[in-house]
Amino acid sequence: MKRKVIIATGSLIVAILIVLLVAGNYFYNQAVKRGTDVVLHTEAASLNSLASEEDQLHMKEAKEWFNDQQPDNITIKTDDDIEITAQFIAQHDSQQKGVILVHGFRSTSADMGKLAKFYADEGFDVLLPDARGHGASGGDYIGFGWHDRHDIIQWIDFLKSHGNNQIILHGNSMGAATVLMASGEELPIEVKGIVADSSYSSVKEELAHQLKHIYNLPAFPLLEVTSFVTNVRAGYTFGEASVVEQVKKNNRPLLIIHGDADDLVPTAMAQQIYEAATSEKELWIVPDAGHTKAYNNKTIEFEQYLKDFLDRTVAD
């Protein structure tokens, strides 16, 4: 009888482990594997269509300007031998200033094109990378900013080689997390400031939020199993990929932006990041803005915040 109980218990444990591994692989494919068509937790469309006519016209002009550009296509190789690409818009009259605009989850460099005109008008060369696992870049997984933080340093080196000695990092969503994760590394002195719009506090906390809202599932044990699978297949864990821990080591000025109606990345995460940061910092919580929609809804005001930040961090 005792032997039967042991066998039954062992079989049950094995079955549970198999189910968890299957679930972990499923959620890896949903969240981390390249090319999966994922439906994220969405927001009411009305939140993201509150721009004034003046802001809408300004945004339209910015997008048209970007679409008229003929950027150079740049390719570099990462430290782990992945070819990644970027669009590069150089100024004819260089002021030796450069910005790296970093896009979000399952997006591409073109998504940041709406910000390119602003920085070009301010005299910046503009670099728009495709993150690993996105767009024209190589890689079969999404790094959520963790491995990408090292890629940003290589893009900084590219701008330095182009003569840029004052560099700004600016990211949206996963791109915001990427530049904030990079902030905790030993950055070149040419990096003068970092703008982060709608960053999550850590990969683990963000995926837990998505599990709850999309699948109505608890984080434990699914996240732990999916993190294990991610470590095996992509070489990192969700727990180590923390913006909060990285900004504790940062010494560059930060401008942290977040909509107060962001359901995709909870606004409270911006407060966590701000409180953890030990450098010069500013937090702008934008009323009635959803995820990364502060620029769309408050275009002119957003640009004024950027100008004020640049005035404090970048020399003329």
For the segment 168-174, the average pLDDT, to the nearest whole number, is 98
Same domain (yes/no): 233, 245: no
Sheet holding 124-129, edge to edge: 72-77, 83-89, 124-129, 97-102, 166-172, 191-197, 254-259, 281-286
Residue 8 confidence (pLDDT) above 60: no
For the segment 51-78, the average pLDDT, to the nearest whole number, is 95
pLDDT of residue 275: 98
Q: Indicate the pLDDT class of residue 315, thresholds 50, 70 and 90.
A: confident
Same domain (yes/no): 186, 225: no
Q: Indicate the pLDDT class of residue 45, thresholds 50, 70 and 90.
A: low
Name the β-bridge partners of 169. 100, 194
Is the residue at 137 inside a domain? yes
Give whichever of 22-26, 73-77, 89-93, 221-225 has the largest mean pLDDT.
73-77
Same domain (yes/no): 85, 160: yes
Q: What contacts 140, CB < 8 A, 6 or more positions away? A: 33, 34, 133
pLDDT single digits (tens) 251-265: 999 999 999 999 999
pLDDT of residue 4: 57
Q: What is the rounded distance in angstroms from the CA atom of residue 168 to the CA atom of residue 26?
A: 37
Number of domains in the chain: 2
pLDDT single digits (tens) 91-124: 988 789 999 999 999 999 999 999 999 999 999 9
Residue 84 confidence (pLDDT) above 80: yes
Same domain (yes/no): 232, 251: no
Residue 304 confidence (pLDDT) above 60: yes
Same domain (yes/no): 80, 189: yes
Question: Containing domain of residue 18, as a range?
Answer: 1-31+217-237
Same domain (yes/no): 108, 136: yes
Q: Is 93 exposed, middle or buried (0-12, 13-18, 19+ CB in 10 A)?
A: exposed
| pLDDT > 90 fraction of the chain, expressed in percent and rounded | 77
The more confidently predicted of residues 49 and 278 is 278
Q: Indicate the pLDDT class of residue 15, thresholds 50, 70 and 90.
A: low
Same domain (yes/no): 232, 279: no
Q: Indicate the pLDDT class of residue 139, thresholds 50, 70 and 90.
A: very high
Q: What contacts 221, CB < 8 A, 6 or more positions away? A: 20
Question: CB atoms < 10 A from the CB of 164, how many?
Answer: 23
Q: Indicate the pLDDT class of residue 36, thresholds 50, 70 and 90.
A: low
Same domain (yes/no): 126, 267: yes
Same domain (yes/no): 103, 183: yes
For the segment 73-85, the average pLDDT, to the nearest whole number, is 96
pLDDT of residue 72: 97
Is the residue at 184 inside a domain? yes
Q: What contacts 169, CB < 8 A, 6 or more positions away? A: 99, 100, 102, 152, 156, 179, 182, 183, 191, 193, 194, 195
Is the residue at 210 inside a domain? no
Same domain (yes/no): 146, 14: no
For the segment 258-279, the average pLDDT, to the nearest whole number, is 96
Mean pLDDT of the chain: 90
CATH number where 281 lies: 3.40.50.1820
Is the residue at 41 inside a domain? no
Same domain (yes/no): 24, 55: no
pLDDT of residue 27: 73
Is the residue at 208 inside a domain? no
Same domain (yes/no): 226, 191: no
Is the residue at 276 inside a domain? yes
Predicted structure pTM score: 0.93
